[in-house]
Amino acid sequence: MTMETSDTWSIQWEGKAADDRTDFARMSEDEGLVRTAGLQILQGRDINITQYPTDSTAMLLNESAVKAMGFNNPVGQTVRDGDANYRVVGVIRDFLMGSPYDNMQPMIVEGLRSHFIQVVNIRLADGHGTAQSLEALRKIFQQLNPDFPFEYHFVDDDYALKFADTRAVAILAGLFAGLTIFISCLGLFGLAAYMAEARIKEIGVRKVLGASVLSIASLLTREFVTLVFISFVVASPLAWFAMNSWLQGFEYRIHISVWIFVLAGGLSILISLLTVGYQAVAAARANPAKSFRTD
């Protein structure tokens, strides 16, 4: 299979407007592309030059190409590309082949009219070792084309490279977010220790009057939890706006759900409780007699 960029204005079909300059991605195949690449046929069939020799002038369209051409019944239509007429034999579901950040481009897959092939797509059989399969392919390639080196790429690796920059940003964002949470926890811990020390006499009086450890710990942590909750309420709209703006750069993207913010708020409160709770419980369990000796 080979892929190339089409001269968009040379592609003609019935009903095409004179000023239409739609960009098409164009590929050529001999047979088996749908099965090998795991594509889905929506109408018609795949190109198969071995079974149908006339398929050298057959054509597949993806969904976007059908919409761009305005075909109601695409199978059987004739599309002219340059000096050749192609007959549409099938429609395939849209699949992402180019940049994941761009719109889905109309695509045509033409029958291979020559014996020149730039790329061969091979699907390794399940249950066979990758190394053994590659070695067998290398021997076949060297036998048929000994003057050129055997080069191969895995589709999943090539696809993952498209997200390398995004993955790097995600890692850095995660590291800085973790560092920010750690520093915030240190600040909460220090502030809780200071507040407990500043209110040591009040805590002593409350214990003498019969206050329980739980009620005193709740008294000390309530203020911090309230501040964390207010911070969460203020930060959530800003975070949603920033993340939604960033996601607009992707043509195929998720939608930010409410449960993400609920989970983030719950984790924030839990982390603050764990950070402040230690100091609060320690202050609540202290001997009240010691708090009165500070005078």
Q: Is the pLDDT of residue 15 over 90?
A: no
Statement to judge: residues 131 and 181 lie in one domain: no
Instruction: Give 83's pLDDT tier (boundaries 50, 70, 90).
Output: confident
Contact 270, 177 (CB under 8 A): no
Of 285 and 183, which is predicted with more confidence? 183
For residues 59 and 29, give the distance between their C-alpha atoms in angstroms, rounded to a whole number.
9
Q: Is the pLDDT of residue 292 over 70?
A: no
pLDDT at 284: 66
Collapsed DSSP state (helix, strand, coil) of residue 111: strand
Statement to judge: residues 145 and 62 lie in one domain: no
Of 268 and 210, which is predicted with more confidence? 268
Q: Is the dihedral of CA 173, 258, 276, 192 positive or negative?
A: positive
pLDDT at 175: 94
Statement to judge: residues 167 and 286 lie in one domain: yes
How many domains does the chain fold into?
Answer: 3
Statement to judge: residues 106 and 223 lie in one domain: no
Domain that holds residue 16: 2-121
Chosen domain end from 142, 162, 182: 162
DSSP state of 198: H
pLDDT at 77: 93
- Overall average pLDDT of the 19-47 stretch: 87
Q: How far is CA 212 from CA 207, 218, 243, 293, in A?
A: 7, 10, 44, 21
Instruction: Write the pLDDT tens digit of every residue in 160-190.
Output: 888 888 889 889 999 998 898 889 888 888 8
Among candidates 275, 279, 239, which has minimal Cα distance to 256? 239
Q: Could you tell me the pTM of the whole model?
A: 0.63
Contact 240, 261 (CB under 8 A): yes
pLDDT at 46: 93
Chosen domain end from 145, 162, 179: 162
pLDDT at 294: 52
- Overall average pLDDT of the 66-72 stretch: 91
Statement to judge: residues 188 and 148 lie in one domain: no
Statement to judge: residues 137 and 210 lie in one domain: no
Statement to judge: residues 31 and 41 lie in one domain: yes
Residue 102 token pair:
């761009």
Averaged pLDDT score across all residues of the chain: 82
Collapsed DSSP state (helix, strand, coil) of residue 230: helix
Statement to judge: residues 134 and 232 lie in one domain: no
pLDDT at 25: 85
Statement to judge: residues 49 and 145 lie in one domain: no
pLDDT at 2: 45
pLDDT at 207: 67
Express as a percent the part of the chain with pLDDT over 70: 86
Contact 273, 233 (CB under 8 A): no
Among candidates 26, 5, 20, which has minimal Cα distance to 86? 26
Q: Is the pLDDT of residue 236 over 60?
A: yes
pLDDT at 289: 60
Name which of 180-189, 199-208, 227-236 the model is least confident about. Answer: 199-208
Which range has highest mean pLDDT (4-18, 191-205, 213-227, 243-257)? 243-257
Residue whose structure tokens are 């950040």: 101
Statement to judge: residues 274 and 236 lie in one domain: yes
Name which of 146-160, 185-199, 205-219 the model is least confident about. Answer: 205-219
Statement to judge: residues 7 and 94 lie in one domain: yes
Give me the amino acid identity at 155. Answer: V
pLDDT at 5: 45
DSSP state of 82: T
- Overall average pLDDT of the 13-37 stretch: 84
For residues 281 and 70, give the distance between their C-alpha atoms in angstroms, rounded to a whole number.
72
Chosen domain end from 121, 151, 173: 121
Statement to judge: residues 113 and 140 lie in one domain: no
